[in-house]
Every structure is written in C-alpha cells, then in structure tokens.
Structure 1
Amino acid sequence: MTISSRVRLICLTGALALSVTSLPLSWPNPALALSDIKDITPAPPEQDPPATPAPAPAPGDDEDLSDEAFPVIPDPDPLIKPSNTDESDATTPQEPAPEVIYDLEKAPEPVRRMRQLIMDAAASGDIQALKPLLDVGANQTQVPLQTSDQDPIAALKGLSGDDEGQEILAILLDILSTGFVQLDKGTPDEAYVWPYFAGKSLALLSPRERVELLRIVTAGDVAEMQEQGNYNFFRVGISPDGRWKFFAVGD
C-alpha cells in the first residue's frame, strides 16, 4: 500500500472515530414495562402530627389563668379597715324585759303603803293633799319644775288642764291602777314604777295591754309614742323603803 493510500485510510479512520465520539451518549434505552418503572417522585417533607386540641372547660369551671400569662395585681388595702371581729361582731346581750306585776303583794309593804296614800290623796280632789307625801331635801321627790325654786304643787297645777289640778289627780289614779314593774333592781335608783309601760316596749303590747294604755292616753298619743319607740307620759316611782321618788313625764 502506497503512502497516499495509507494516509487516506488513517484519515478515514480518524474521521469515523471523530464522528462516533461526536454522537450523543444517550442512546435510546429499550422500552420498560410499567411495573419496572420506579416511582422517583420525591417524598414530601415529614410533618408533625396535628396537635390534639385541649378539651373545653366544663360549664362553671374557672379558666386556668396562670400567673405567667396574667400577672396578678394585689388589691389595695381598704381605706377603712374593719375593727377586730371579736369586738365588732360581739353583740351586747340585751337585758330581759322586766316582769309586769299586777299582784301588789309582790311589792314591799312600804311601797304598797305609799301607793295607797297617793291614791287616797288623789281621790280627795284636793291637789294640796299630795304635799305631805312629797319628799324634801336631798332625796326630794322629782316633779316637772319650771324653775329649781318652784313649789312642787304649783308646778303640778301648772301641768293640769284645769286651774285646780284635778286632771293631774285623775292621771295619778289611772296610772296607779295599772300593773307595775321593778326597775334598776339592786341599785340606788331601784324603784317600783307605775304604769308598767315605762319598762316595756310598746311594740310588744298585747291587745289587752293596749286597751290599758288607752285608758291613760289617747290613740294619737299611742301612735306618737310608737314612732318615738317608748312610753313618754306620766309615771310614778316609789323606792323599796316607801319614799315617793318621782312623778315625772317624758322619756
């Protein structure tokens, strides 16, 4: 083979090799069955499982509000602090109402004697008959005086609706005809007092007792007394030793 023929052969071979190398490397692969095709879809990223919602509080249950979420602000101290409950809540027991007495034998004999003397003087119709029964001096009988030096009989006549003081005598008879009570027992002020309304709440009067009260005062007077809360008409007090302590009017 001549040189020229060899050169042409080499060139042809090189050209063929060059053409082979220049062809694409991805030759068509043989067809695959569907079962042979693998799923190459990328898997989705892993996700946390959904959180289970907390159960709703039952009706009436308080919500759990932690101090971290809602800081508690302390209540301010009250402007007026309550006093000691042991002292403020303690109620002073009220004294029982005095016994209403109708039996004169339950009163000491000196008390019974003075009561009868007053009634006898009142029944005479002469207000001057009361004067010897009125105590004088340090233990003088208390009567409604307009001035400290006023004569007691003159003061009583001034309270009467008539000039002779006979209305006062009638009031004495009515008062001393009712029941009585013993007040301030065991003290220097102890006295047997007529009428018993002076020691009993008017709100506690029975129908019979209201009739007794209406024998002394009018219905209008009773209504006014109930508004004020106590009996405020005339009353007579006699000490256990038989002294006429007072013939007073008012509370």
Structure 2
Amino acid sequence: MTARPSRLFPDLPALKRGSAICLFLAGLMVSSQAMALSEIPEEDVPVPAEETAPNDEIQRQTLPPVQAEPTKPASPDPAPATDEVEAPRPPRDMTVPLPDPIVTPRAPHAVAPTDEEANGEPTAEISYDIELLPEPVARMRKLIIEAALTGEMENLRPILEVGDEGTQLSFGDLPEDPITFLRELSGDDDGQEILAILYEVMSAGYVHLEAGEPTEMYVWPYFFAVPLDSLDKRQRVELFKLVTAGDYEDMKNFGAYIFYRVGISPEGRWLFFVAGD
C-alpha cells in the first residue's frame, strides 16, 4: 500500500511527518482546552460570613447606664444686694489683753491735780525744816517717830484716833482694832516692818497742802505731791529708802506716788497712814 503524501508536511519523510503530526495534534488539544476554559461562565464565589467586612451596616449595642455623680447641697442664695455698704470689720485682736490696773479709792485728804502738776512741776514747796511746823503738828510727828523706834506696835495705840473721824488706815471698812490691822499688814508677825516704814516716812521731807482751807494738812513724804518724773538724783535716793527701783517705775507709769504716807492736820490730829491711791 502506497502512503499518501501528507498535505500538512509534504516535504518531510514519513517518520518525521508522523512526529510532526503528533505535535500538531497536541497543539490543537491545548488550544481547544484553553478556549474551553475561557468559555466557562464567571460565577460568584461565596464568601464566609465571618470574613465579610462590617461596612454595610453599623451594629448598635446598648451601653451600661452612666452612674450619676452625687449632687452637692445647694448653697444658700446670696443676700440680695442693697444700696447700703457694709462697714469693714475691724481686725481681730489676737493679743492677750493685760489686766486692768488695781486702783484703790483716793484718800479723802488727797489733793486734786492742778495745772502745775499737769505740767510736771511741783505743786507744793518741799521742806525739811521741822521748826517751820506748827507746834501741834511737830509734837504729833515726834510721838509717831518715838513709838515706831520702840519696835512695839502697841505704842501707837495712844496716838491713833478711832471712830468715823479717826485715823484712816485703809480705803475699805474701818478695822475693828487698828493695831491688829497694822500688824497683819506687816511682813513679820510683830509688825516691825510697818514700824520701820512709818519711821522712814516721817523722816523724809514734807509738804504743806491747801493752806487756809478746811482740808489743810502736812503730808510726809513730799513725793505724794511732787511728779515723780521731776525728781533729781538726790531725791531718788530718798525715795529708794521707801520703795524699790521696780516700784518706782510702776508708780511712774501709774502717774503718782502710791506708797505709804502720813497726814497731820494743823491741830495735830493724825489724819491717815495709808498706801494706794
């Protein structure tokens, strides 16, 4: 049987033509398969629900209720404004107040301050001359000094006057017994301290006050009627026989001599022996 020449590959030998034909047929199969795949209709591939993006719809969730904060008590309404302006309050004083000075009543025979005293000038003439004293006054002064120098308080009793018009020994009630009262004032039991003070008082200079008046008298020591700021050095030495330097400063602040003093009337009556003002 004579082989027919191939129309596809006429120039190739039979064996080679067979191989070429096989290759040709294989190419046709591949091409047909490619065309078949391209002709497969496109279908939507389902996507799992969990992989879809939540863009199509906003998911709403219920939030827990918000806890309300505790309400504060409402402050009282401010006072309505008025035309009156409230006066500023004075600053509060934090300092501790000092006690009031102890002031005793003025002796009935004390002299009211004069213009000279207010100006710091002596209100009476100071004297040490016993010869210038009226005889009744000089005699009473001598009796007081003699009784004080004995050291016996009872020796004052004969010259102390008693009763409503008697010798004034305090600014309070009249003592039942003047000797007992004076002894209780003394720093010692027998009263010698008071007797020593009485002696020093009567040994100092004196002043004659209110001459010609019903209240005329002679007063020891003269410090009672002289501003303490006007005392010179010698006079301060005399004063320190009776009081301490601290007492002197206190009396300057007070404004007067307030230690013991003695008053004798022109008739020789022992008017007072007191301390204070």
Scaled to the shorter chain, the TM-score interval is 0.5 to 0.7
Maintained 8 Å contact 2:175/2:181: no
1:151 corresponds in structure 2 to 177
Q: Provide the C-alpha distance between the structure 1 equivalents of 2:115 and 2:174, rounded to a whole number of angstroms.
A: 39
Are residue 204 (structure 1) and residue 230 (structure 2) matched? yes
The TM-score, its normalising length taken from structure 1, stands at 0.61
What's the secondary structure of 1:137's corresponding residue?
Answer: coil
Match for residue 197 of structure 2 among 171, 177, 180 = 171
Amino acid at match of 1:103: D
What's the secondary structure of 1:157's corresponding residue?
Answer: helix
Q: Provide the C-alpha distance between the structure 2 equivalents of 1:101 and 1:149, rounded to a whole number of angstroms.
A: 33
The number of aligned residues is 160
The superposition leaves residues 147-194 of structure 1 with CA deviations (integer Å, 9 ceiling, x where unpaired) of 435211111111100011110000011111110001222222211000
Maintained 8 Å contact 2:200/2:242: yes
2:210 corresponds in structure 1 to 184
Maintained 8 Å contact 1:145/1:155: no
2:251 corresponds in structure 1 to 225
Amino acid at match of 2:138: R
Higher CA-based Rg: 2
Q: Provide the C-alpha distance between the structure 2 equivalents of 1:240 and 1:136, rounded to a whole number of angstroms.
A: 18
1:244 corresponds in structure 2 to 270
Amino acid at match of 2:196: A
Q: Provide the C-alpha distance between the structure 2 equivalents of 1:150 and 1:223, rounded to a whole number of angstroms.
A: 35
What's the secondary structure of 1:176's corresponding residue?
Answer: helix
Amino acid at match of 1:249: A
Q: Provide the C-alpha distance between the structure 2 equivalents of 1:100 and 1:164, rounded to a whole number of angstroms.
A: 33
What's the secondary structure of 1:136's corresponding residue?
Answer: coil
Amino acid at match of 1:169: L
Matches within 5 A, 1:2-151: 93-94=115-116, 97-144=123-170, 147-151=173-177
> Percent of pairs identical after alignment?
53
How far the C-alpha of 1:94 sits from its partner, in A, is 3.8
Maintained 8 Å contact 1:146/1:155: no
- Give the gaps of 5 or more residues in structure 2: 1-113
How far the C-alpha of 1:113 sits from its partner, in A, is 0.4
Q: Provide the C-alpha distance between the structure 1 equivalents of 2:133 and 2:148, rounded to a whole number of angstroms.
A: 21
Amino acid at match of 2:170: P
| Residues 221/149 of structure 1: CA separation in 2 closer, same or farther (3 Å cut) | closer
